[in-house]
Amino acid sequence: MLIKHVHHLTQLMSIKISENTEFKIDIKTVIGIIMLTTTLVGMYYSLQDDIALAKSLPPVEVGRLEYDLKEKWNKENIDYLIERVDMLEEMGDVVSEEITVLSTLVKDGTKTDGKLDELAKQLKALKEKKRK
């Protein structure tokens, strides 16, 4: 039975198209094909006009302005980071000096001579600067 269907389908596919061949298409399909073709042709010519116009215009000079703005932003951030690193180095120096003074006081058993208070003030000033 399957063989009969296949044989029947091959006969349908082997129809020859000639001048006398007729096929039917409803009017909606014809109008749809015409509209689609018209739309595609219109889009093609519109795109060709846009390309021609773009070729005739001078190139846009956005590159330099963009570069300058990025360079300014980078410079500001680098300056800010340098300032932060310097401050952290100063804080490290102050803390290191505090540790040295404290270790000397512990070894000697002597009283502070105001050096710790001075270092604490420097550390406080650096912390205030950091918050800004």
The CA distance from 127 to 58, in Å, is 54
> Is there a contact between 116 and 98 (Cβ–Cβ < 8 Å)?
yes
pLDDT at 92: 84
Q: How high is the pLDDT of residue 127?
A: 74
Q: What is the pLDDT of residue 46?
A: 96
Looking at per-residue confidence, does 21 or 132 come out higher? 21
- In whole angstroms, give the CA distance from residue 104 to residue 115: 12
Q: What is the mean pLDDT of residues 8-17?
A: 60
% of the chain with per-residue pLDDT over 90: 29
- Find the mean pLDDT for residues 34-50: 96
Q: Is the pTM of this model over 0.75?
A: no
Mean pLDDT of 36-55: 95
The whole-number average pLDDT for the span 9-27 is 70
Burial (Cβ within 10 Å: 0-12, 13-18, ≥19) of residue 74: exposed
